[in-house]
Structure 1
């Protein structure tokens, strides 16, 4: 039986090394692109999603508190009007 010629072993080794080099280059390129994209996004002063969600939640709560306060104020104004009407009736009540 004849052994494989050394040429095919060398060729297989070369192909393996080339594949490793391409994989390494791809990972390095990916890291460089990610870094550049992060730099660009930071220079644009964009808001991250988690920060946006937090502010949106705060705004929702503030709106709910404002609605509750407006409703409470309307009730207080209604009660004040009723008290003022009573006071007016007592002052201008039956006079003889």
Structure 2
């Protein structure tokens, strides 16, 4: 599944589980065209302390989170990105 497809699914799951406002903020991913731009967007999000609870909450219910995208797409992300994602999801 492409990064764009995963982000679209994450946005929908965020809308369902967290709420419309959080999904709208996440929807900013659409302004980026390349995988490199999407990766930088995701890297900023996983480092944002205000978003940590959302990723954990989504993952806890089996939904796609930004952090689960990082872990499912190791070719795009650094080991540090994966470590941050695992810590947020309580998998470290």
State whether TM-score is above 0.5.
no
Shorter-chain TM-score range: under 0.3
Greater C-alpha Rg? 1
Alignment TM-score, normalising by the size of structure 2: 0.22
Alignment TM-score, normalising by the size of structure 1: 0.21
The structure with the greater share of residues assigned to helix is: 1
Q: Which has the higher contact order (CA 8 A, sep 6+)?
A: 2
